[in-house]
Protein backbone atom coordinates (compact mmCIF):
# COMPACT_ATOMS: atom_id res chain seq x y z
CA UNK A 1 0.00 0.00 0.00
CA UNK A 2 1.31 3.43 -1.03
CA UNK A 3 -1.02 6.37 -0.46
CA UNK A 4 -1.02 9.69 -2.28
CA UNK A 5 -2.85 12.81 -1.12
CA UNK A 6 -3.63 16.10 -2.81
CA UNK A 7 -2.70 19.26 -0.87
CA UNK A 8 -5.01 22.24 -1.40
CA UNK A 9 -8.51 21.74 0.09
CA UNK A 10 -7.66 18.10 0.86
CA UNK A 11 -4.98 18.60 3.52
CA UNK A 12 -4.91 22.40 3.88
CA UNK A 13 -8.25 24.13 4.38
CA UNK A 14 -8.87 27.69 3.23
CA UNK A 15 -12.60 28.43 3.63
CA UNK A 16 -12.12 30.59 6.74
CA UNK A 17 -9.14 32.35 5.19
CA UNK A 18 -10.94 33.20 1.95
CA UNK A 19 -13.81 34.59 4.01
CA UNK A 20 -11.53 36.61 6.30
CA UNK A 21 -9.60 38.25 3.46
CA UNK A 22 -12.70 38.77 1.31
CA UNK A 23 -14.28 40.67 4.22
CA UNK A 24 -11.07 42.65 4.81
CA UNK A 25 -11.06 43.73 1.17
CA UNK A 26 -14.75 44.57 1.13
CA UNK A 27 -15.47 41.92 -1.48
CA UNK A 28 -18.28 40.44 0.61
CA UNK A 29 -20.28 41.99 3.47
CA UNK A 30 -19.27 41.31 7.08
CA UNK A 31 -22.43 39.24 7.48
CA UNK A 32 -21.48 36.91 4.60
CA UNK A 33 -20.92 33.26 5.48
CA UNK A 34 -20.21 30.26 3.31
CA UNK A 35 -17.70 27.97 1.68
CA UNK A 36 -14.90 28.86 -0.70
CA UNK A 37 -17.23 28.11 -3.62
CA UNK A 38 -19.95 30.47 -2.40
CA UNK A 39 -17.34 33.19 -1.77
CA UNK A 40 -15.94 32.68 -5.27
CA UNK A 41 -19.39 32.89 -6.85
CA UNK A 42 -20.25 36.06 -4.92
CA UNK A 43 -17.01 37.79 -5.91
CA UNK A 44 -17.21 36.74 -9.55
CA UNK A 45 -20.68 38.28 -9.76
CA UNK A 46 -19.19 41.71 -8.99
CA UNK A 47 -17.81 44.12 -11.61
CA UNK A 48 -14.25 42.97 -12.40
CA UNK A 49 -15.00 40.04 -10.14
CA UNK A 50 -12.79 37.54 -11.96
CA UNK A 51 -9.78 39.79 -11.43
CA UNK A 52 -10.64 40.28 -7.75
CA UNK A 53 -11.01 36.53 -7.25
CA UNK A 54 -7.67 35.80 -8.92
CA UNK A 55 -5.93 38.35 -6.71
CA UNK A 56 -7.61 36.91 -3.62
CA UNK A 57 -6.35 33.44 -4.50
CA UNK A 58 -2.82 34.78 -4.85
CA UNK A 59 -3.03 36.27 -1.37
CA UNK A 60 -4.49 33.14 0.25
CA UNK A 61 -2.03 30.67 -1.28
CA UNK A 62 0.93 33.02 -0.91
CA UNK A 63 1.39 35.74 1.72
CA UNK A 64 -1.37 34.42 4.02
CA UNK A 65 -0.72 30.68 3.53
CA UNK A 66 0.46 30.32 7.15
CA UNK A 67 -3.12 31.00 8.29
CA UNK A 68 -4.54 27.95 6.49
CA UNK A 69 -5.91 25.19 8.74
CA UNK A 70 -5.21 21.49 8.64
CA UNK A 71 -8.49 19.83 7.66
CA UNK A 72 -10.17 17.82 10.40
CA UNK A 73 -9.25 14.15 10.30
CA UNK A 74 -5.99 14.51 8.36
CA UNK A 75 -3.78 14.17 11.46
CA UNK A 76 -5.40 10.93 12.73
CA UNK A 77 -5.25 9.47 9.22
CA UNK A 78 -1.55 10.22 8.86
CA UNK A 79 -0.87 8.88 12.34
CA UNK A 80 -2.62 5.64 11.36
CA UNK A 81 -0.48 5.42 8.23
CA UNK A 82 2.70 5.94 10.22
CA UNK A 83 1.74 3.32 12.80
CA UNK A 84 1.11 0.80 10.02
CA UNK A 85 4.27 1.71 8.09
CA UNK A 86 2.28 2.88 5.07
CA UNK A 87 4.22 5.44 3.01
CA UNK A 88 2.36 8.65 2.18
CA UNK A 89 3.20 11.02 -0.67
CA UNK A 90 1.72 14.48 -1.18
CA UNK A 91 1.17 15.27 -4.86
CA UNK A 92 -0.35 18.62 -5.76
CA UNK A 93 -1.02 20.67 -8.87
CA UNK A 94 0.51 23.99 -7.86
CA UNK A 95 2.34 26.56 -9.95
CA UNK A 96 5.41 28.18 -8.40
CA UNK A 97 3.86 31.66 -8.50
CA UNK A 98 0.25 32.87 -8.48
CA UNK A 99 -1.28 34.38 -11.61
CA UNK A 100 -1.70 37.74 -9.86
CA UNK A 101 0.37 38.39 -6.74
CA UNK A 102 2.05 41.75 -6.32
CA UNK A 103 4.33 40.23 -3.63
CA UNK A 104 5.47 37.44 -5.97
CA UNK A 105 5.46 34.84 -3.20
CA UNK A 106 6.87 31.41 -4.08
CA UNK A 107 3.84 29.16 -3.51
CA UNK A 108 5.93 25.99 -3.26
CA UNK A 109 8.01 27.50 -0.47
CA UNK A 110 4.93 28.81 1.33
CA UNK A 111 3.26 25.39 1.23
CA UNK A 112 6.41 23.59 2.34
CA UNK A 113 6.77 25.98 5.29
CA UNK A 114 3.13 25.29 6.22
CA UNK A 115 3.74 21.53 6.11
CA UNK A 116 6.77 21.92 8.35
CA UNK A 117 4.89 24.13 10.82
CA UNK A 118 2.16 21.48 11.13
CA UNK A 119 4.55 18.61 11.78
CA UNK A 120 4.32 16.72 8.53
CA UNK A 121 8.09 16.17 8.33
CA UNK A 122 8.57 14.97 11.90
CA UNK A 123 5.30 14.14 13.64
CA UNK A 124 3.89 12.30 10.61
CA UNK A 125 7.17 11.07 9.18
CA UNK A 126 6.67 12.32 5.63
CA UNK A 127 10.06 12.99 4.06
CA UNK A 128 10.53 16.20 2.11
CA UNK A 129 11.31 14.19 -1.01
CA UNK A 130 7.85 12.64 -0.76
CA UNK A 131 6.16 16.00 -1.46
CA UNK A 132 5.64 17.05 -5.07
CA UNK A 133 4.20 20.29 -6.43
CA UNK A 134 3.55 19.88 -10.14
CA UNK A 135 2.97 22.74 -12.63
CA UNK A 136 0.03 21.12 -14.44
CA UNK A 137 -2.70 18.64 -13.65
CA UNK A 138 -1.28 16.30 -16.29
CA UNK A 139 2.12 16.40 -14.58
CA UNK A 140 0.42 15.64 -11.28
CA UNK A 141 -1.24 12.54 -12.75
CA UNK A 142 2.02 11.38 -14.29
CA UNK A 143 3.73 11.75 -10.91
CA UNK A 144 1.02 9.62 -9.30
CA UNK A 145 1.77 6.92 -11.85
CA UNK A 146 5.54 7.19 -11.46
CA UNK A 147 5.21 6.76 -7.69
CA UNK A 148 3.16 3.58 -8.22
CA UNK A 149 0.58 4.65 -5.66
CA UNK A 150 -2.15 2.24 -4.66
CA UNK A 151 -4.62 4.92 -3.44
CA UNK A 152 -5.07 8.61 -4.17
CA UNK A 153 -7.21 11.07 -2.22
CA UNK A 154 -8.35 14.34 -3.81
CA UNK A 155 -11.14 16.90 -3.49
CA UNK A 156 -11.44 17.44 -7.26
CA UNK A 157 -13.26 14.85 -9.31
CA UNK A 158 -11.70 16.38 -12.46
CA UNK A 159 -8.34 14.92 -11.45
CA UNK A 160 -9.74 11.40 -11.64
CA UNK A 161 -11.18 12.11 -15.10
CA UNK A 162 -7.80 13.19 -16.49
CA UNK A 163 -6.76 10.84 -19.35
CA UNK A 164 -3.28 10.69 -17.80
CA UNK A 165 -4.56 9.53 -14.40
CA UNK A 166 -3.05 6.04 -13.97
CA UNK A 167 -5.26 3.00 -14.02
CA UNK A 168 -5.22 0.64 -11.06
CA UNK A 169 -5.10 3.43 -8.47
CA UNK A 170 -8.02 3.41 -6.01
CA UNK A 171 -9.65 6.85 -6.26
CA UNK A 172 -10.99 8.48 -3.11
CA UNK A 173 -12.98 11.69 -3.54
CA UNK A 174 -13.23 13.95 -0.48
CA UNK A 175 -16.36 16.09 -0.65
CA UNK A 176 -17.06 17.84 2.65
CA UNK A 177 -20.24 19.39 1.22
CA UNK A 178 -21.79 15.95 0.94
CA UNK A 179 -21.96 15.53 -2.82
CA UNK A 180 -21.51 12.15 -4.44
CA UNK A 181 -20.05 10.77 -7.65
CA UNK A 182 -21.51 7.96 -9.70
CA UNK A 183 -18.01 6.80 -10.68
CA UNK A 184 -15.80 7.17 -7.61
CA UNK A 185 -16.00 6.48 -3.92
CA UNK A 186 -17.03 9.74 -2.28
CA UNK A 187 -16.47 10.58 1.38
CA UNK A 188 -17.69 13.49 3.48
CA UNK A 189 -14.93 13.20 6.09
CA UNK A 190 -11.37 11.99 6.52
CA UNK A 191 -12.59 9.55 9.16
CA UNK A 192 -14.76 7.87 6.53
CA UNK A 193 -11.73 7.54 4.26
CA UNK A 194 -9.62 6.12 7.09
CA UNK A 195 -12.29 3.56 7.96
CA UNK A 196 -12.66 2.47 4.36
CA UNK A 197 -8.96 2.08 3.62
CA UNK A 198 -7.94 0.40 6.86
CA UNK A 199 -11.05 -1.20 8.23
CA UNK A 200 -13.23 -1.86 5.16
CA UNK A 201 -16.17 0.03 6.62
CA UNK A 202 -17.91 0.30 3.26
Tens-place pLDDT, residues 172-191:
999 866 555 567 789 999 99
- Per-residue pLDDT band at 202 (split at 50, 70, 90): very low
- pLDDT, tens digit (0-9, with 9 covering 90-100), for 96-132: 887 777 778 999 999 999 999 999 999 998 999 999 9
Interatomic CA distance for residues 82 and 172, integer angstroms: 19
Mean pLDDT, range 149-178, rounded to an integer: 91
Identify the H or E element spanning 134.
strand 131-134
Q: pLDDT grade, residue 4 (50/70/90)?
A: very high
Strands 69-70 and 151-154, bridge-based pairing = unpaired
**Cα(53)–Cα(36) distance, integer angstroms:** 11
C-beta separation of 147 from 4 below 8 A: yes
d(CA 90, CA 144): 9
Q: Say whether pTM exceeds 0.85.
A: yes
Is the CB of residue 66 less than 8 Å from the CB of residue 109? Answer: no
Q: How far is CA 185 from CA 116, 157, 161, 171, in A?
A: 30, 10, 13, 7
Amino acid sequence: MRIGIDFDNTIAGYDHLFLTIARERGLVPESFAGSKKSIRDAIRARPKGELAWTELQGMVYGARMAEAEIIAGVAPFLSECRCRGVPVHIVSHKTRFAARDTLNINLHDASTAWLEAHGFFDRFGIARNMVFFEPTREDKCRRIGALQLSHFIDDLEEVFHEPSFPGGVARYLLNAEGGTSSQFKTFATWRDIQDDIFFGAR
